[in-house]
Amino acid sequence: MHAPRHAQAKNDPPNQDDHRARPEARPPRPRELGLRRLQSLLLFLVLRHALVQGFDVCCCRGRTGAASKAKTKAKRGRAASDEEDEDEEPDAKKAKTGQNGASDDKSGGASQKADPPAKMVTVVKRGAAPVDPCSGWGGMSSSAAVSAFKAQFKAKAAVNWEQRHGMVAKKGKYQWIGQDSPGCMKGKRILTFNVLSERVFEDEKPEDNAGPSGSGSSKKDVEPEKIPDSTLPQEIQALCRLMFSAKLIDATLSSMNYDANKLPLGKLAKSTILNGFAALKTLSEVISQPDGDTSRQHGGYRSAVEELTGRYYSIIPHVFGRNRPTTIDSLPLLKKELELVDALGDMEVASKLITSTVPKDANGKPLNPLDQNFLSLRLSSMDPIARDSKEFGALETYTRETHGATHRHYQVQVLNAFRVERQDETDAWMRAGNDKLADGERLLLWHGSRILSQGLRIAPPEAPVTGYMFGKGVYFADMMSKSANYCHAYLSDNTGILLLCEVAAKPFYEQHAANYNADQDCKAARARCTKGLGRTQPAEWQDAGAALENDALSGCHMPKGPGQDVQGIQGYLQYNEYIVYDTSQIRVRYLLMVKMN
């Protein structure tokens, strides 16, 4: 038992009833220090426990006696009377405290827990509980979220959310790009870049092997089906691995700065591709006529190309990293983007065929993925050509002799060659009467492309004509290396695909310079094909049927020998180009898998 504190204070002032009397300061005794440390430790532990648990806690400030209170006041040296009044206690309670100080010291902790005083300090731990009623933080109602979104939309676009359709773009503000097709309303919409874009995704389809909703089944419970061996020849298997390579598709998209994370190929709708063409078409009007009406409507040339570039990027997302997005303000940049949008259609089809699920045949039996990929090409026949045959040798000769002198920085080696026929092309060819053309009016010409899963196609009406030197059509060459440059073989271990096509070409509509309306002019001239005249041309032509020992090509001509410079031609082109505007004039005859070293 401790002695009463008032008995120990022998040097206290005589007037002990005056609570304002200030005793002389003296060093605290060891027992007092121990008690204070115990109180501080207890207070710290209680606060720590309360903070961890996230509850409101009441921390009481107790007193152990008048003498202790007086010594504390002396040590702190209080000067303000309002602080003293705040801690003032009734005289009766102080007398009781003075008589029973030792007892209070011993049982102070228990009395605090049993009967906490009215004076307390509240400590609130914010964020620990799901909802903190004291701070105002917590969940937001759906109506409040919608209101906040609409307010943000109006701040960005300067129009109300309900008035976004048909809105007129305001300078410096975002613009909503809507879709008019009925199916678009089923899609998802994303807002990106510097315009508000309504980008359409194709409806998601549930996976075939996914269990019904709520059934409790999962993919892990289903045993993987055994994939049968491919029934295709090894040469065709190698070709399918190249054409339907996910690595090739990713590399192609990356080289074009396409952002497949924002808009995966599997979610890409055809309407989105057409909208991309339409955006580039508007850009081409500004680039070709900087002072035209379209430029003036958008505040001048520079403002127009920046705004329309942003609109295009909102439809066809790009990746620029830390670099500033490239403004499409020239024909070369426009042509590059046209190649991207044009290639997206082929890659979108190819990507859908590259799935993790095992394909099935008509009877529901598992099918090798390579076989499924081959079937998607819709070829009625594809036969590998023996390397020791005269036909293969003639194809190698045609490849070697039509390698342009300006393209000698690389060599081309024929790895595999295939005879190809697509029934749809044959039917269209026959309906057009192209099988009855006179000898020499059909030519066996080269065509190169990135990915050829859909056959040869002509750019849609939405595409601008200024991106195509001789209008929107299918382009061919009589020099192999000119077409090989469009294969972009560096993306696939320097392996590319070249086509040899039978083309109903003559009579020609010859041009020396670019003509963006050549498709209309060619038709008006009653010609079948536009021929862009190059400075280097084949010196001779020969019958392809005889040279290749392929009777189906009798009457179709192909170059004989290397190209030669032609005097008197001052055109822009180094080599000839042939452009047709109707796919019924085309039949794919050979497919060559080549290595470019």
Residue 202 CA to residue 95 CA, distance in Å, equals 86
Q: Which of 447, 450, 453 is nearest to 499 (CA)?
A: 447
| Whole-number pLDDT of residue 311 | 87
For 372-422, write each residue's pLDDT tens digit: 888 878 888 999 999 999 999 999 999 999 999 999 888 999 999 999 998
CA distances from 460 to 319, 517, 577 (A): 25, 15, 21
Residues 444 and 589: beta-carbon distance below 8 Å: yes
| Whole-number pLDDT of residue 492 | 77
Q: Using H for helix, E for strand and C for coil, what is the string for 268-321?
A: ECHHHHHHHHHHHHHHHHHHHCCCCHHHHHCCCHHHHHHHHHHHHHHHCCECCC
Residues 315 and 272: beta-carbon distance below 8 Å: yes
- Does CATH place domain 379-596 in 3.90.228.10? yes
Domain boundaries, the chain: 5-78+91-123, 150-204+230-353, 379-596
Residue 556 CA to residue 87 CA, distance in Å, equals 113
150-204+230-353 and 379-596: identical CATH topology: no
Residue 170 CA to residue 95 CA, distance in Å, equals 81
| Whole-number pLDDT of residue 55 | 41
Residue 319 CA to residue 99 CA, distance in Å, equals 83
Element (H, E) at 340: helix 331-353
| Whole-number pLDDT of residue 120 | 58
pLDDT tens digits in sequence order for the chain, 597 residues long: 444 444 444 444 444 444 444 445 555 555 555 666 666 776 776 666 555 554 443 433 444 444 444 444 444 444 444 444 444 444 444 444 444 444 444 444 444 445 555 555 555 555 555 544 444 455 678 888 888 898 988 888 888 988 887 676 666 677 665 433 333 333 333 333 343 433 443 434 444 433 333 334 444 455 666 778 888 999 999 988 888 877 778 888 888 888 888 888 777 888 888 888 899 999 999 998 898 888 888 888 898 999 899 889 988 889 888 888 889 999 889 988 988 888 887 777 666 656 555 666 667 777 888 888 888 788 889 999 999 999 999 999 999 999 999 998 889 999 999 999 988 899 999 999 999 999 999 999 999 876 565 567 777 776 776 668 899 899 999 999 999 888 877 777 888 889 999 999 999 999 999 898 999 999 999 999 999 999 999 999 999 999 999 999 999 999 999 999 988 777 789 999 999 999 999 999 999 999 988
Is 510 annotated in the active site? no
| Whole-number pLDDT of residue 541 | 95
| Whole-number pLDDT of residue 538 | 94
| Whole-number pLDDT of residue 93 | 43
Q: Which of 420, 476, 488 is nearest to 444 (CA)?
A: 476
| Whole-number pLDDT of residue 585 | 96
| Whole-number pLDDT of residue 273 | 86
- CATH class of this structure's domain 150-204+230-353: mainly alpha
